[in-house]
Amino acid sequence: MADMVNYTCSKCGGVLNVAPGHMLFDCPFCGADFNYYDFYRKEMIEQAESCMYRYDFDMAKRRFEEVLAYDPQDFAALRGLVLCEGNIIALKNLSSPSKLEGCKFHQMSRIIGDVLSRAREEDKEYFRKLLDLFSVAKQYIQLKNERNTLSDDSNKQFKQIARVDDNHKQTVDNVTTVLLIIGMIITAPFAGEDTTKEDRENAAMFALGVIGVGIILVVFFKFGLWAFAISAGVVAGILGLLAFIRHLENKKKAPHRKALKDNQSRISDCSSRMFELENKYKSEYEELQKLAPDVKKTTLSKELLIKKTSEDIFSGEAQTLICNKCGGFLELDRQRRLYECRSCGVAYSTSLMSETDGAQKAVELLKKKDFSDADNRFILELMLDPHNFTALNGRILCAGRWKDIHSISETSFHPIAKVDDIRARLSDAIEHCRDEDKDYFLKFKDLIEIIEESSANLKLIDKYSKGDFIDRRKVGPLQEANAEVKAEFEAVKKELLMLNIRRKTA
């Protein structure tokens, strides 16, 4: 959860810095009243929805739970938990059953049971309708999967029939090829040099036809009618054999044709039922939208906010704090429970300064890759102690989008990391750290310089290796140089880890 958030007063433009425990407060500059939950809820819901869109459902659920910690019946947060459980990336995906393909319907149905026990009475009908919607979508997707399976099976049947036809065609082609070769051998003496292959094949077939007719006539006139009858019988037998082969081929194709016919019938039935379910889903979705309340409105009562406001936020002990914005001193306003910087106008809730385990919480956020919130925590620690090693080191890691030293790679920086920001935080750490920690940050600086060199080499290698063309004269030396850089990186990283271990054991 964002433990320190900057807000701007809508009336005077003053900067408001508050903690979750400080639920009701006013602007230290113009006195305007504000409800922290209004700010907090909107921000957490937006962050959760952004996480969902990036498929980071675990983080999204944590954000929704943070909202529910203040209002256990918050409609948008409860609905968000249902969507996260089903791996649905956006509310708009509910508009069509096709967009819910791959969703975890069983998990969503299960969590809706829990949500119904937590939701407000007026919101329960929405979640019941959502359950009905999921039921229709599940049936639709099951039919769609069945239709796709039938279509795949139909394609297999088509291929089997085509394979049988190909075998028949291959047999006919082989016989034809043999006859053509015989005919071309017979007509070869009569072929000229300019005769095309097609003309030779036609001549060969004509010659074979003439020879066949001649043989039949010779048999008839020389040996009589009985010999002709025998010849005709042989020809009839050959034709009968060919017909029998064709019959066997049709018999092989029969089961595939039957399967195709059955599949087409079942596909048609699936399509018809899917069309009915689509109309039913559309009707259910329209009813669902009518039941949805206005999630932009805050329903948490002022009485509940006051009840949730901690009674012991303010410790009563003033601390000497330095503003991280301008370097000025913060003044304590006991009545408003705020630390104010009169130089730049920044204000901080006293509850932010009362925690004793702020650094540990920041490290935990860093391990979860919640870099923005971790950085805010580290800033607070540096306001209390400008020489704090954990905070100085943590801010560098936050800038590089690294959860720890082990996760740093020599190949490149994180795409959204700002190298200038990393350098600035390193310089600040070297300037403000204690003497015993200076070697660590100097070594860290060496590590960053090596990463920059490696990144530059890799960019040049990519530049000279476009497509199929690789400029070996330029790429070769760069690859050799980068191999040396990689070895140097591993050595420096190892030294950095050892320095950190020695610092912890000292």
Q: pLDDT tens-digit profile of 135-180?
A: 898 888 888 888 888 888 888 877 777 777 777 667 666 766 766 6
Residues 6+ apart with CB under 8 A from 113: none
What integer pLDDT is reported at residue 306 of this predicted model? 38
Q: DSSP labels for 155-208?
A: HHHHHHHHHHHHHHHHHHHHHHHHHHHHHHHHHGGG--TT--HHHHHHHHHHHH
The pLDDT assigned to 296 comes to 53
- What's the pLDDT score for residue 304? 41
- 298 pLDDT band (50/70/90 cuts)? very low
Range of lowest pLDDT (294-308, 315-329, 361-375, 387-401):
294-308
Helices marked H in 188-332 — which ranges?
A: 197-223, 225-291, 302-308
CA–CA separation, 479 vs 461, rounded Å?
7
Mean pLDDT of 231-251: 67
CA–CA separation, 213 and 226 (whole Å): 17
- CA nearest to 341, candidates 2, 19, 16, 12: 16
pLDDT tens string 449-491: 988 888 887 788 777 776 556 676 777 787 788 788 888 889 9
The pLDDT tens digits of the residues spanning 63-112 come to 888 888 878 888 888 999 999 988 998 888 888 888 888 888 888 888 88
Q: What are phi and psi of 292, to 5 degrees?
A: -70, 125
Mean pLDDT of 223-235: 65
Read off the pLDDT of residues 44-55 as tens digits, 9 standing for 90 and up.
Answer: 888 888 888 888
The percent of residues in the chain predicted with pLDDT above 90, rounded, is 8
Mean pLDDT over 220-228 rounds to 65
**Number of alpha carbons in the 13 Å side-chain half-sphere of residue 245:** 13
Contact residues for 1 (Cβ-Cβ < 8 A; gap 6+): 20, 44, 62, 63, 66, 373
pLDDT at 181: 72
Closest residue by Cα to residue 352 from 327, 373, 329: 373
Q: Which pLDDT score is estimated for 393?
A: 92
Query: In the chain, what are the domain boundaries?
Result: 5-139+286-308, 148-280, 355-505
Q: What pLDDT shows up at residue 90?
A: 87
